[in-house]
Amino acid sequence: MFLISNGFPNKQGLYDPQFEHDSCGVGFVVDVKGKKSNDIVSAGLEVLERLTHRGAVGADPKTGDGAGILIQIPHEFFKKVAKESKISLPNQGEYGTGLVFFPQDKEERKFCKEAFEKFIKQEGQKLLGWRSVPVDNSVIGETARETEPVIEQIFIGCWDGSRTVPTATVKDDMTFERKLYVIRRQVENAVKNSNIKQKSCFYVTNLSCRTFLYKGLLMPYQVKAFFLDLQDKDVKSCLALVHSRYSTNTFPTWDLAQPFRFLAHNGEINTLRGNVNWMKAKEGLLQSELFGDDIEKIKSIIVPGGSDSAMLDNVLEMISLSGKSLPHTLMMLIPPAWEHNDLMDQKVKDFYEYHACFMEPWDGPAAIAVTDGTRIGALLDRNGLRPARYIVTKKGFVVMASEMGVLDIPPSDIETSGRLEPGKIFFIDTEEGRIIDNNEIKNTVASSKPYGKWLKDNLVDIDNIDLAGVGVDRDPPQQGDPPQQGDDLQTSLKAFGYTREDLKVIIKPMAETGKEPIGSMGNDTPLAVLSQRPQLIYNYFKQLFAQVTNPPVDPIREELVMSLNTYIGVQKNMLDETPEHCAKLKVIHPILLNYELEKIKSVNNKKFKTKTISILFDAENERNFVKTIDNICKETEAAIEQGFSFVVLSDQGVEKEKAALPALVAVSAVHQHLVAKSKRTQIGIIVESAEPREVHHLALLFGYGADCINPYLVYSAVAQLVEEKDLKLDYDKALYNYLDAAEHGILKILSKMGISTLNSYRGAQIFEALGISGEVIEKCFTGTTSRIGGAGFDVIAKETILRHKTAFEGEISNAPFLATGGVYQWKKDGETHLWNPQTISTLQQATKSGDYNKYKEFSGLINDQSKSPVTLRSLLKFSSELKPISMDDVESAESIYKRLATGAMSFGSISRAAHETLAFAMNRLGGRSNTGEGGEDPARFIPLPNGDSARSAIKQVASGRFGVTANYLVNADEIQIKIAQGAKPGEGGQLPGHKVSAIIAKTRYTTPGVTLISPPPHHDIYSIEDLAQLIYDLKNTNPQARISVKLVSEIGVGTVAAGVAKGHADMILISGGDGGTGASPISSIKHAGAYWELGISETHQTLVLNNLRGRVRLQTDGQMRTGRDVAIAALLGAEEYGFCTAALIVMGCVMLRH
C-alpha cells in the first residue's frame, strides 16, 4: 500500500483518496472568567474520552481515526520544560510555539528545520530552540506506530534582530500571530515544493503565541497517555477544545486529526469543490493593510490534500488574522437561512445580503467549535442537522459537546442548559468574562458598517431595471407576444438535438403541471459513450448525491433554508468592506426570461456593462471547435480588462455554416480558465443557449460556473405546444409552470447533495463524468472525476456537427417532424433498450413454459451486445485461457439460490398478489424477498398449512419508517436500512393520498386517504455515528437477524461503505443507479447514480485496502438479468445478487413505463 501526502493510499483501481469523508465528536470546556487551571485541561480530556463512541476504529483495534485537544499556551509549564532543554523563554506573548511532525529520515528532518530557520530569520524573528516532545507510543496501535512522525516543539522569539535578548517589538499579539502564520505558510510551501521523499510526514500542527495543540492518530483515551506533557499538573488553561474523529477510511492520517488551528468540526462541507475553486479565484484580488506585502507569501490560502474541515480552517484562519473578529468571520462563512426569515432584524439581514455579494456559504451539515485562545464558541449551520448541547454552571463553567453526559455535573450546579439552534452562535469571551448572546453578537457585527445603506445605494434588483414596453412583474410573466413559430423553429429544434420525446415527455409535463416529469422501471439505454446516436454533452454526466456521511436536505420540510438568490457582477477584495462590494445585480430567478436577458444586455452605466460573446464555430471544420473554445476564453479575459461586468455566452445565429459549441463546454471552459487565472470573480457569466431544456442540463450549467441561464429555445417550444393545442393553457401560464418546475427541480438536485443555496452549488462541480477523455476534463471540467475514458474533443465535435447537419442537410432536414427519441420508452426507430418487446416476450415464454432453450435465446439477446453495447459489463470478456473444471466441483444450485434476493418493492407500489408471489417464490428457492419500505401484514408471518410462506425474509427500514414495529423487526432474517435507492438516490418518496387504501394504511400504520411522504434523509441519521447507533439498536431488537445497509453506486461509495463496515453492519448492498421499478423523476432515473459495476468494484477495493473486507458481505443489484451478470458481479467483489425488474417481467409486467 503506497501512501500519499496526507497518509492515504495513492489513487489505484477505482479507489480515489479525494472522496474520503469524516464525521466526529466535538466539544469544549471553558472558565467564563478566564481563570487558568489544570482542572479545565483535565475536564477537556474527560470530555474527549467520553466522546470515544463518536470516533471509530478499523482493522487495528488500538488505532483510532484521530483525536486531540487545543488549549491556551501553558506558559509556566513551557518555561519549566524549555529550561530542561536549555531554552530560555521570554515573557508570555513574546514567543510563539507549536508541535511539528517531522519525517523519520534524519537528513530530511534537517532540511525541514533549515527551512524554519531560513524563514524565521527572513521575517525578523528569532529561533529560540527545539524541544523533543516526550511521548509513550506503547499505548497506541500498530498502524499508528508504523506512521508515527518524529514530534518536536519549536519556540520562536518575537525579535527584530537589534537586541541581544528577544523581546516584543510588535504592536500586539495579533501582529506577532500574523508573522508566525506567514513563517508557517512559507515553510509549508518550501517543504511541499521540495524533492524530499517523506514530505508527506511533515506537518505543523499550529504555530501561535496564544494557543497550543496536542493531537495525532490516536483514540481519545490515548491522548493523555501518549503525550506525557498532559500528565503534568502545571499544564493550565482557561479553555480546552477537543475532537474525536470518525473517518469513513481507516488509513493513517496524523495530520488530519482535529482540532485544527482555530476550529474543530463535526460534519461535512458538501460544497467543498466549489468553495475551493472560488477561494482560488478570489486570491488574485486579496489585499490587506495588516498583511501588506506578506499576503503573497501565504498563498495558496487553502492547502491541497486537507480534509474539508482543514480547508475551512485555512480560510477562517486567514480571514480572522486579516483583522475581522471571530464572530464576523463565522457569519461570513456559515450564514443562517436569512433569505426568507421575516423575523430576523433587518440590520442583520442586510449584513448577510451584503456578504452574499462576494462570499458563497460553506454549506453542509456542520457543528463548528472555534477559538482564538481568548474567545471560544460554537455555531450550527443553517440546517442545524448536527447535535450540539451546552451546560452553564453557577460557578461560570461551560461545557459544550456533540451530546449530553460528557461530564458529570450535579443538577443543583446547573444555571442553564440548552442546545444550539440552526444558524445561532454560542459565544464566550473570557477577556470580558461573559457569555455573549447570539442577538448581541450579530447586532454588534451588523452595526459595524452601514450595510443597509450600501445595499440600497449599490445593489440593483433585475426587476427594477426598466425595459421599454415590458413590465417588471414576473408572476405571471409579462413576456409580450410568444416567440415566432414556423420553419425556423423546426430547424433550430433539430440543430440542437430536440426530439418529439423532449417535447412530449419532458417539456409538456413541466409546462402543464409545474412539476418535473415522472418515469419508472429504471434506465436500460446505453451509456452516452456507448450509444450509436449523437449525444448531448450533458448525458455524459451523473449527479452526485449525499448518503450517510452528509445526508440530503429534505426540500419540503426545509423549504425555508433553500434559496436560488444570485448576485452577479464584479467582486472586490474579500478582506475589505466598501460600498462597491455590493454593486451587484440581484437575480432571484436565475433562469432568465428573454426580456430579462434583454434588460441585462441593455444596461450600460457606471455600475454595469455587458458584452455578448458568440460561441458559434465553423461547422465545416472540426478543428475550429477547440480553437473557438480558446478564443472565447481569451475574449472573456479581455472583457475583464475592458471593464465589463457581465459576459453573455450566446449561441444565437446558428445557420448552415455556423454550429454552436455545446453550452456546457463553453461555460465550463471559460469558468475554469478564469479560476486558473484568479480572475473568475471579476465578471459574471450568463448563458444564452438553445440547448438546455431539462433540469439536469440547467443544474450542470450552474454546477460548472454559469451565473444565470436563458434557455430561449425551450420558450419557443412551449409556445409551439400551446399553439398546436397540446397544452390547454395560455402561453404565459405554461411558461410560468415550466420555470416553476425547473426551479423546483434545481432545488431538489441541490438538496440531494445536502446543499441549500445555489450560491454554494454554483461552480461546485458535484458530478461524475462517464466516458469523457482526460484532455476534455483537463481543459473544460478540471477536477471532475472521469473513471471511464472516451469522448475527446474530436468525438464531441463530430456529435455536435452531426446534430447540426440533421437540421440543414439530408432527408431529415426536410421532414416536417423531429426525430422520435425513444430514450424514455422503447421505439422501433429510437434508442436501444435492453428491455424491448423481443427480450420481454422471450423471457416470459421461457419462464412460463420452463423451456431452457428459450431462456438461452433470451440470455443471448441480453449478453451479446457486440453490435450495440449498452452496459459496462458488455465490454468485458471472460478469459478463454482458463481450463474448465468439473461441474462436481462447482457450488450447487441450491447453495447459489441462497445468494439471490429480489429488490425492495413496497406493498402499495406493487399489488398484494405480486408482493406475496415474490415472497412465495424466494422462500421456496431458499433465497430472500424484500418488503420494501411499505411494511408487511403480520398475517404473512405465519406459514400456510402447505408449508409455503408469504413472509419476506428481508424487512426494510426506510426514512418514513412505515410499518416498522418491534413485531415487524423480530420477524426478519435480515433488517435492511435503506439509505438511498437506485431510481432516485438522495430523494424521498411520496404515495398520493388517493392510493392509500384501508389495507395499505393498516399495513403502514397510517391513516387512509392521507398522502405518505418518505423524506430524503432518515431524520435520526445525520452522520455515520448515527447510522452506527441505529445498527446497534436493531441488533438488540433482533439479535438473530443480520443488519444490512443499502447504498447507491457513485464515486466515493467505497469510503462510505468503509464507514458503514466500521459501524458494524453485516452486509452492504450497492445498488446501481440505473435500477429501480417505482415512479421517480425522469432526471433522477437517467442522471443520478452510477452503474453497479463501478460501485461494487470500488467498494470491494476500498474495503480490501482498509482491511475491512472480511467484516461484511457485499450484495449488488440494478438491471441484472442473466447468469453472466451474476458471474461478473462475483468477479468484481459481490457475494449476493438482487433481481427486481426481471422478476416483475417474469410475473407478467409489460413495461409500459408510465
Residue 871 counted as domain residue: no
CATH code of the domain containing 981: 3.20.20.70
Q: What is the CATH number of the domain that holds 240?
A: 3.60.20.10
CB burial class (10 A; 0-12, 13-18, 19+) of residue 443?
A: middle
User: Is 165 a residue whose pLDDT tops 50?
Assistant: no
The DSSP secondary-structure symbol of 865 reads -
0.75 surpassed by pTM? yes
Write the CB contacts of 781 (distance below 8 Å, at least 6 apart in sequence): 668, 672, 704, 765, 769, 772
- What are the two backbone dihedrals, phi and then psi, of residue 116, each rounded to the nearest 5 degrees? -60, -50
Interhelix angle 346-356/451-458, nearest 10 degrees: 60
pLDDT at 2: 35
* 874: helix, strand or coil: helix
User: For position 83, which CATH number holds?
Assistant: 3.30.70
- Residue 684's nearest CA partner among 567, 762, 593, 794 is 567
- Structural domain contains residue 17: no
Beta strand residue intervals within 32-173, DSSP E: 67-72, 95-102, 126-132, 150-157
Task: Give the integer Cα–Cα distance in Å for 45 and 28.
Answer: 10
What mean pLDDT, rounded, does the chain reach? Answer: 90
How far is residue 330's CA from residue 350's CA, in Å, rounded to a whole number?
16
**Structural contact between residues 329 and 319, judged by C-beta atoms closer than 8 angstroms:** yes
**Count of alpha carbons within 13 Å of 921, Cβ hemisphere only?**
17
Burial of 406 (0-12, 13-18, 19+ CB in 10 A): buried
Q: Which residue has the higher pLDDT, 127 or 991?
A: 127
Determine the pLDDT at residue 252. 56
Q: What is the mean pLDDT of residues 592-608?
A: 90
Q: What is the mean pLDDT of residues 312-335?
A: 96
- pLDDT, tens digit (0-9, with 9 covering 90-100), for 48-71: 998 876 555 555 567 777 899 999
Cα distances (angstroms) measured from residue 377 to each of 23, 197, 385 = 19, 40, 18
- The residues, ordered by sequence, that sit 6+ positions from 55 with a Cβ below 8 Å of its Cβ are 24, 25, 64, 65, 66, 67, 219, 220, 244, 245, 246
* 825 is a domain residue: no
Picking from 823, 798, 801, the residue whose alpha carbon sits closest to that of residue 527 is: 823
pLDDT at 838: 95
Question: 242 pairs with which residues across the strands?
Answer: 27, 69
Per-residue confidence band for 405, with pLDDT thresholds at 50, 70 and 90: confident
Do the domain assignments include residue 991? yes
- Tell me, yes or no, whether 425 and 351 share the same domain: yes
Question: Do 1101 and 1049 fall into the same domain?
Answer: yes
Maximum mean pLDDT: which of 710-719, 800-809, 814-823? 710-719
Does residue 819 form part of some domain?
no
Cell digits of residue 647: 459576459
- The distance of Cα 107 from the centroid of its chain, to the nearest Å, equals 41
Tell me the three cell numbers of residue 923: 422462500
Contact (Cβ atoms closer than 8 angstroms) between residue 1048 and residue 1089: yes
In the chain, the percentage of residues whose pLDDT exceeds 90 is 75
Cell, residue 932 = 420494501
pLDDT score of 7: 52
Domain assignment present for 883: no
Nearest to 932 by CA among 967, 895, 976: 976
Asked whether residue 246 falls in the same domain as residue 123, the answer is: no
Q: In terms of domains, do 379 and 520 share one?
A: no
Tell me the C-alpha distance between 1061 and 1041, whole Å.
16
CA distance 267 to 1022: 9
If pLDDT is split at 50, 70 and 90, which confidence band does 1024 have? confident
Other residues' Cβ atoms within 10 Å of the Cβ of residue 1113:
17
Strand order in the sheet with 203-204: 126-132, 150-157, 95-102, 203-204
Instruction: Based on the fold, state whether residues 413 and 497 are members of the same structural domain.
Output: no
Nearest to 1144 by CA among 1089, 1058, 1060, 1078: 1078
Please, which pLDDT band fits residue 494 given cuts at 50, 70 and 90?
A: very high
pLDDT score, position 363: 83
The answer to whether residue 739 sits within a structural domain is yes
| Neighbour tally for 685: CB within 10 Å | 27
Helix 106-122 to helix 173-192 angle (10° resolution) is 140
- Please indicate, yes or no, whether residues 479 and 523 belong to a single structural domain of this protein: yes
Mean pLDDT of 98-109: 95
Q: What is the DSSP string of 646-666?
A: EEEEE-TT-BTTEEEPPHHHH
Query: 1081 pairs with which residues across the strands?
Result: 518
Range of the domain at 1004: 893-1146
Closest to 196 in 3D by CA, of 297, 117, 115: 115
Give the strand pairing for 203-204 and 95-102. Answer: antiparallel
Residues 968 and 1056 in one domain: yes
Catalytic residue numbers, as ranges: 24
Beta-bridge mates of residue 416: 392
What pLDDT, on the 0 to 100 scale, is given for residue 706? 97
- Strand pairing category for 366-371 and 263-267: antiparallel
Residue 474, pLDDT > 70, answer no
Residues 599 and 499 occupy one common structural domain = yes
Q: How far apart are CA 152 and CA 164, in angstroms?
A: 25
pLDDT band at 866 (very low <50, low <70, confident <90, very high): confident
Q: Domain for residue 944, yes or no?
A: yes
Chosen domain end from 209, 244, 261 = 209
Distance from C-alpha of 647 to C-alpha of 650, rounded to nearest angstrom: 9
795 band by pLDDT with thresholds 50, 70 and 90: very high
Dihedral sign, CA of 33, 37, 43, 45? Answer: positive
Predicted confidence (pLDDT) per residue in 772-791, tens digit: 999 999 999 999 999 999 99
Report the distance separating Cα 68 and Cα 429, nearest Å. Answer: 23
Contact 398, 32 (CB under 8 A): yes
685 and 697 both lie in a single domain: yes
**pLDDT tens per residue across span 1086-1109:** 999 999 999 999 999 999 998 899
- Amino acid found at 421: E
pLDDT at residue 167 greater than cutoff 50 = no
The last residue of one of the domains, among 757, 789, 814, is 814
When pLDDT is averaged across residues 807-820 and rounded to a whole number, the result is 77
> Domain end: 786, 814, 842, which one?
814
The total of structural domains in the chain comes to 4
DSSP letters, 775-789, are: HHHHHHSTT-EESS-
How is residue 315 written as a grid cell? 480560510
Cell representation of residue 241: 477544545
Q: Taking the mean position of all CA atoms in its chain, how far away is CA 488?
A: 42
Instruction: Map grid coordinates 445498488 to a residue.
Output: 1071
Task: Tell me which amino acid residue 499 is.
Answer: T
Are 188 and 223 in a shared domain?
no
Return all residues near 415 (Cβ < 8 A) that are at least 6 apart: 392, 393, 394
Cell numbers given for 321 = 488574522
User: For 22-149, where are the E strands, in sequence order?
Assistant: 22-31, 67-72, 95-102, 126-132
Q: Given the DSSP bridges, would you call strands 1080-1081 and 518-519 parallel, antiparallel or unpaired?
A: antiparallel
Mean pLDDT lowest among 134-148, 434-448, 921-935: 134-148
- Nearest residue to 247 (alpha-carbon basis) of 1067, 1068, 1023, 933: 1023
Compute CA distances 438 → 371, 399, 422, 581, 1070, whole Å. 16, 17, 12, 26, 44
Within this chain, do residues 61 and 92 fall inside the same structural domain, yes or no?
no
10-14, 727-731, 967-971: least confident range: 10-14
Is residue 69 domain-shared with residue 84, that is, in the same domain? no
Q: How confident is the model at residue 161 (pLDDT cuts 50, 70, 90)?
A: very low
Q: Which grid coordinates belong to 484?
A: 415566432
